[in-house]
Amino acid sequence: MMPWRRTRPTLNAAFTDMQFNEYQKAADRMAALTRLAPPANKVLLATAYMTWGAARMGLHDLKGADRMLDLALQANPDSSAAYGLWSEAKRLEGDQAAADRLHQKAQESAATFENYSEVGALYFHLSWRDNEPVIRSEFANPDVVKFH
């Protein structure tokens, strides 16, 4: 399989690892992804570093989270999600001023939000006809999903 074809499944797997509190496993996946096949797409690369940062937060490694979130924003300086997550990390460190600045940046960057396409496909019918409006999927999708 071509490296670029592994990006989204690897990100999805790390997301699942996070849901199951498998923080080291998620961090290891993101380390391998960024080392072996770093995504060329800035949003996907930033997502990899954000996921790695969140995993470091789950492991109570706030310095490691800082490094990963800085890399996420180097990859995609418009990522409101990365600024928001970094704000949370700074709050955990006790740096309220930095947390407030990052939270403000997240709000300012929210207009450039880019969503992960798989999430959109779960909730909306993919409009494949010209000029077809986006409509909600006809399939039942719960508002909240819990993993057991």
| CATH number reported for the structural domain that contains residue 107 in this entry | 1.25.40.10
**In which domain, by residue range, is 52 found?**
3-114
Whole-number Å distance between alpha carbons of 100 and 84:
10
Q: Which of 88, 90, 80, 87 is nearest to 43 (CA)?
A: 80
Q: What is the distance between the alpha carbons of residues 51 and 67, in angstroms, rounded to a whole number?
A: 12
Assigned domain for 20 exists: yes
User: For 80-123, how does the pLDDT look when each residue is reduced to its tens digit (9 = 90+)?
Assistant: 888 989 999 999 999 999 999 999 998 888 776 555 544 554 45
Q: How many domains does the chain have?
A: 1
Q: pTM of the full predicted structure?
A: 0.76
Answer whether residue 126 is part of any domain: no
For 42-90, the pLDDT digits (tens) are 888 988 999 999 999 999 999 999 999 999 999 999 888 889 899 999 9
User: Which pLDDT score is estimated for 110?
Assistant: 74
Write out the E strands in 9-109.
Answer: none
In a domain? residue 128: no
Residue 133 lies in a domain: no
